[in-house]
Structure 1
Amino acid sequence: MSESDTRVVAVIPARYHSNRFEGKPLALINGKPMIQHVVERASQVELLSRVVVATDDERIAKQVRDFGGEVVLTRSDHVSGTDRLAEAADLLDIEEHDVVVNIQGDQPLFPAEVVEQVAGPLLQDPALPMSTLIYKIIRSEEINDPNHVKTVFDCNNNALYFS
C-alpha cells in the first residue's frame, strides 16, 4: 500500500454532557457553534480527505448537518473520546491502512500543521500503531493537574506511557 493510497480522515469526538461545561460543542463563538469552527478549520487542512464529527447527541448531530458537516452517531457509553473515535471508524468503514486523526471538538483554533505533524509519521511508516502530539509542561501547576496528560518517552521520542 503506497502513501498515496492512504486516506487521512479526521474524526472529531463531540459530547454534549460534560462535567465542566455542558453543551460545549454548541457554545456560540462569533455566532457559530464551537463544533462548526473546528469542522471548518479541519476542512481547510489539505492532507485530510474527510472530516467527520462523532457524537452521541442528536442536538450536536443536527447542528453539524445544518451547517453541511458530516456526522456519525455513536453510543453514549464511551469512557473516552478515543473510544468514540474507534466506534466511528468502524461505522464509517474506514480502511485499516487509512490514518485516523483525532481532532478535539473543543479546539476551534488548532493550527493546521499539527494534523500533518501527527499524521506524518504514520504515513511514512505504516507499521507504527499510533502517533500523538505532546507539549512540554512549562507551568508548575500543570504537573499535578489531571486534565493535562503526561507522557514518558524514550531517547527516540517513542512514548512509553501516558498518565
Structure 2
Amino acid sequence: MTALKTAAVIPARYDSSRFPGKALVDILGKAMIVRVYQAVEKCEQIDEVYVATDDKRIKKVVEAAGGRVIMTSNQHQSGTDRIAEAAAQIEADLIVNVQGDEPLIEAQSITQALKPFSQENNLQMSTLKRKINSEAAKSPDLVKVITDYEDYALYFSRSPIPYYRDTKVKDQHYYQHIGLYVYRRDFLLKYAGMERTALEKAESLEQLRALENGYQIKVLETKAKLIGVDRKEDVELVEKELKARNKKI
C-alpha cells in the first residue's frame, strides 16, 4: 500500500473564554503552543506540522520557534472549522487534529490513532480514549465515549455513560474521550460543511455530527496520561507531570 501523506494541524486561538491567552501560557519556560508543536514533530508518521490560528501573537511565537503557521478566519465557531480551512491549503491524504491545549501529547498516541488507516480503506475518522474511574466520569468537562466490539464509537457524552442502573456493580468501566482526531482530508472538508445536528447541539460535541450522519469513528485506547489545559490551575498539574517524566529519563 502506498504510504499516506500525513499533515498535523494544531488549532489555536487567543480568546479562550475560560482562559484567555492560554495558547501562549508559559509551561516550564516554553509557550504551550510551541510545546505541543514540538511534541507532534517527534511523530515519524507526520510529514508536516502547522498551527492554524487567527492571532498574530500566536503566529509570531510559533514562527520564532521555527514552526509553520496558517492564518485562518476569526469567524470560526469551532476548532474543526479552523482545521478544515487550513486543510484546504494542504496537500495530504490524512489530517491529524491535535488540540493546542494538550501539552502532554506524545508521538506514540498520534501513531496509535493513525494505525487503522493503513488497515481500513473505508475508514474516515479515528480518535482516542483512556480508562477513568467512576468519580472522574461525573465531570461534564471530561467527555465520555462508549464503543462497540470492533472499537467504533456508539456515542459520546458529557454525562457518565454507560448508566449503571445497579449501583452495586463493582466493575464499572468508563472511558474518557481524548480530543485527538485523524481524518481523511476529503472527508474533513465534507464534514466541516455539514449542518450542526441535534445531538451535537445538545451535548456541544462536534464528533456527534459524524455519528448522526452515519459515519463510523474508530476509537483506540491509550494509556497515556494527558492533562488538557482548560483553566489556569491546570498549568501546575501539567508542569508537575512533565517534571515527573523528566526524572524517569
Q: 1: distance between equivalents of 2:106 and 2:38?
A: 12
Are residues 1:159 and 2:153 paired?
yes
- Alpha-carbon distance, 1:139 to partner: 4.2
- For residue 136 of structure 1, the aligned residue among 131, 136, 144 is 131
- Alpha-carbon distance, 1:13 to partner: 0.8
Q: 1: distance between equivalents of 2:67 and 2:25?
A: 17
Who is 2:78 aligned against?
A: 80
**SS of residue in 1 equivalent to 2:146:** strand
Q: How many residues align?
A: 157
Q: 1: distance between equivalents of 2:40 and 2:114?
A: 13
- Alpha-carbon distance, 1:107 to partner: 1.5
Who is 1:66 aligned against?
A: 64
Matching residue's letter, 2:44: E
Matching residue's letter, 1:140: E
Cα deviation code 1:33-89 (max 9, x no counterpart): 111111111111111101110111111011111111001011122222122111110
Distance 1:162 1:52, change over 3 A: same
Conserved 8 A contact 1:38-1:107: yes
Matching residue's letter, 1:105: G
Who is 2:40 aligned against?
A: 42
Matching residue's letter, 2:108: E
Matching residue's letter, 2:70: V
- Alpha-carbon distance, 1:7 to partner: 1.0
Q: 1: distance between equivalents of 2:80 and 2:132?
A: 23
**SS of residue in 1 equivalent to 2:7:** strand
Alignment of 1:15-34 (within 5 A): 15-34=13-32
Q: 1: distance between equivalents of 2:102 and 2:47?
A: 20
Percent identity for Structure 1 against Structure 2: 46
Q: 1: distance between equivalents of 2:54 and 2:133?
A: 35
Matching residue's letter, 2:154: L
Distance 1:139 1:77, change over 3 A: farther
- Alpha-carbon distance, 1:99 to partner: 1.3
Matching residue's letter, 1:39: Y
Matching residue's letter, 2:16: S
Matching residue's letter, 1:48: I
- Alpha-carbon distance, 1:100 to partner: 1.1
**SS of residue in 2 equivalent to 1:133:** strand
Who is 1:57 aligned against?
A: 55
Matching residue's letter, 1:18: S
- Alpha-carbon distance, 1:133 to partner: 0.3
Who is 2:103 aligned against?
A: 108
- Alpha-carbon distance, 1:140 to partner: 1.6
